[in-house]
């Protein structure tokens, strides 16, 4: 998980509402970073599934 994937605007927003660095990590940056990591992992699984389906359909057409 890369925390740099969380938009810089989110970090600025946490500063603007007065969250401490720990609170901004806890409530904003880590949850969104986790979401980015999970979505990218899901996307990779979906791509692998689609590739697998394509291979199966090619074999089936033979």
Per-residue model confidence as pLDDT tens digits over 1-46: 455 656 778 888 888 999 998 998 888 888 877 777 776 666 666 6
Q: Name the residue range of residue 48's domain.
A: 6-61
**pTM summary value:** 0.50
Q: Is residue 47 part of a domain?
A: yes
Is 41:15 a contact under the CB 8 Å cutoff? Answer: no
Q: Is residue 1 part of a domain?
A: no
User: Cα(6)–Cα(36) distance, rounded to whole angstroms?
Assistant: 8
Q: Is residue 42 part of a domain?
A: yes
Q: Is residue 31 part of a domain?
A: yes
User: Cα(57)–Cα(46) distance, rounded to whole angstroms?
Assistant: 16
Q: Is residue 10 part of a domain?
A: yes
- Split into its structural domains, the chain has a count of 1
Residue 62 has pLDDT above 80, yes or no: no
Handedness of CA 38, 43, 48, 49 (dihedral sign): positive
Q: Is residue 15 part of a domain?
A: yes
Residue 53 has pLDDT above 90, yes or no: no
Is 56:20 a contact under the CB 8 Å cutoff? Answer: no
28 Cα distance to chain centroid? 14
Q: What is the pLDDT of residue 18?
A: 94
Strands (E) located in the chain = none
């Amino acid at each position: 998980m890369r925390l740099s994937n969380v938009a810089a605007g989110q970090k600025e927003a946490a500063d603007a509402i007065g969250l401490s660095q720990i609170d901004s990590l806890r409530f904003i940056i880590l949850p969104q970073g986790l979401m980015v990591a999970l979505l990218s992992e899901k996307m990779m699984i979906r791509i692998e599934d689609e590739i697998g389906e394509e291979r199966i359909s090619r074999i089936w057409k033979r």
